[in-house]
Amino acid sequence: MEVSDPNAPMYYKGFYHLFYQYNPKGAVWGNIVWAHSVSKDLINWESLEPAIYPSKWFDNYGCWSGSATVLPNGDPVIFYTGIVDKDNSQIQNYAVPANLSDPYLRKWVKPDDNPIVNPDASVNGSAFRDPTTAWWADGHWKILVGSRRKHRGVAYLYNSRDFKKWVKAKHPLHSVQGTGMWECPDFFPVSLSGEKGLDPSVMGQNVKHVLKVSLDMTRYEYYTLGTYDKKKDRYFPDEGLVDGWAGLRLDYGNFYASKTFYDPSTNRRILWGWANESDAVQQDKDKGVGRNPVDSKEVKVTTAAQADVDVTFSFPSLDKAEPFDPKWAKLDALDVCAQKGSKAPGGLGPFGLLTLASEKLEEFTPVFFRVFKAADKHKVLLCSDARSSSLGEGLYKPSFAGFVDVDLTDKRLSLRSLIDHSVVESFGAGGRIAITSRVYPTTAVFDKARLFVFNNGSETITVESLNAWSMNKPVMNVPVKS
Ligand code: DQQ
């Protein structure tokens, strides 16, 4: 059964709710309904019957992505995109819980005064979807809807005083030429004065905003940090940030259609993404070339196929960092990772973890740093390189990577990887960069999977601290007993 975008994550009466795009009829995308799961701890999940499915004229051809807003009185409302014909014409609808006293929120009602938003003549009605969570500013509720005008990515803004009648603002909140369709926009405040997450409607001096969009042209997302001017109803990214496909990413790996929500029970903003799979065949340029990492040490952990590893590396100096080739500035980090890999010996790096490794290293997913010296500063590359992850044929095995802006004065880099059979989710440099890889080893599975730390650079790397924990099996989406 096909599963994709996370929809309308929220916290309600002690339960986390997650809905997601789901095809109940097959393993490929289509017949889209909203599947629904609940959890008390974000680890163990129970599944419920689909919450939103085609049943009315305004969503008969599919219920596409959307978001939840928890109103000031605590009641949740869902906005989603309804598909109204075979040409995928799109409008925005709302749904409310049938029974607010049910913490599972099993049944949802789609009132007859839907839709809340129709595309006007200036809007491309087959590229008009994925309404955001609403926020309150300047006497109005506001939502964004993702779209495009020719090749310009657009986040249309709609205003409402009563949460029922929505009116398009004079200007989009933001748009960028050449970026194509903006799917699943996400817009939220972040605090400059603390680490706590913020409710969507918080504004003020110490608050900036993040705008994230998913680009259907590349299937990558990017975000900028900037200023939300509520008088002009516009968002201005900070100077110096790339507002396009080469911009910052929340995750540099298999990660798309993401969405955040504010968790009032822990004051955190929590991010959900779709760790998409793809059967596109990528040429494994590195097959059979180079050596396997030499200086490696096994990390003993009872279940290396399902583990949480946290390691801090240190090094005596930056002198051995290899030169940064200026040509790489034009490349995606993924291509730099493809050129350098984990196997070619370097100076300061490659060093890191070999996850999901088979005994003789026929298969392994290396997650590693390589530090380069550019004209003005050092550049730190984190790679999660799936090319050596599996002997399986025809799999999508990208050399995911990103550059991370990090202060190296204390000559330390940390890496945390959560390994879960086909998922390796890594956080580098104290979480400044994240990369999720989906990998499908054939032999490095279950108790055959191993974990190593390695260094293939000429500079000495010290493991300052290393903690590795086996992770238990959670309750994974078992149906709720009725
Ligand atoms: N998936 C949904 C759309 C969204 C896309 C349809 C992103 O609403 O734009 O399943 O993966």
Q: Give the H/E segment covering residue 337.
A: helix 333-340
CA distance 219 to 176: 17
Give every CB contact of residue 294 below 8 A, 6+ residues apart in sequence: 454, 456
Give every CB contact of residue 408 below 8 A, 6+ residues apart in sequence: 318, 371, 378, 380
- What's the pLDDT score for residue 289? 36
Distance 4 CA to ligand 1 centre (A): 8
CA distance 204 to 189: 10
Q: Is the pLDDT of residue 32 over 90?
A: yes
- Residue for token digits 């029970």? 265
According to DSSP, the β-strands at 476-479 and 45-52 are parallel
Lining ligand 1 with CB less than 6 A are 4-5, 21, 32, 64-65, 81, 129-130, 183-184, 256-257
- What's the pLDDT score for residue 293? 58
> What is the full DSSP assignment across 252-272?
SSS-EEEEEEEETTTTEEEEE
CA distance 289 to 238: 43
Distances (CA, A) of 35 to 9, 22, 65, 69, 186: 12, 6, 11, 18, 21
Q: How far is CA 350 from the centre of its chain?
A: 25
Segment 273-297 shows an average pLDDT of: 58
pLDDT confidence bin for 301, thresholds 50/70/90: confident
Residue 269 token pair: 């903003």
What's phi and psi for 448, nearest 5 deg? -90, -10
H helices within 85-239, ranges in order?
none
Which atom of ligand 1 has the smallest separation from the CA of 184?
9
pTM of the model: 0.95
Q: Is the pLDDT of residue 280 over 80?
A: no
Which atom of ligand 1 has the smallest separation from the CA of 29?
10
Segment 432-440 shows an average pLDDT of: 97
Residue type, 165: K
CA distance 168 to 164: 13
- Residue for token digits 């030499």? 294
- What's the pLDDT score for residue 278? 60
- What's the pLDDT score for residue 131? 99
Q: Is the pLDDT of residue 1 over 80?
A: no
- Mean pLDDT for all residues in the chain: 94
Distance 184 CA to ligand 1 centre (A): 7
Q: Is the pLDDT of residue 166 over 50?
A: yes
Query: Is 5 noted as a catalytic residue in this protein?
Result: yes
Could you give all domains of the chain from N- to C-terminal order, each with its CATH number? 2-274 (2.115.10.20), 295-470 (2.60.120.560)
Which atom of ligand 1 has the smallest separation from the CA of 129?
8
Nearest to 379 by CA among 346, 345, 344: 346
Residue 170 burial (10 A CB sphere; 0-12, 13-18, 19+): exposed
pLDDT confidence bin for 285, thresholds 50/70/90: very low
Segment 142-155 shows an average pLDDT of: 98
CA distance 115 to 94: 7
- What's the pLDDT score for residue 28? 85
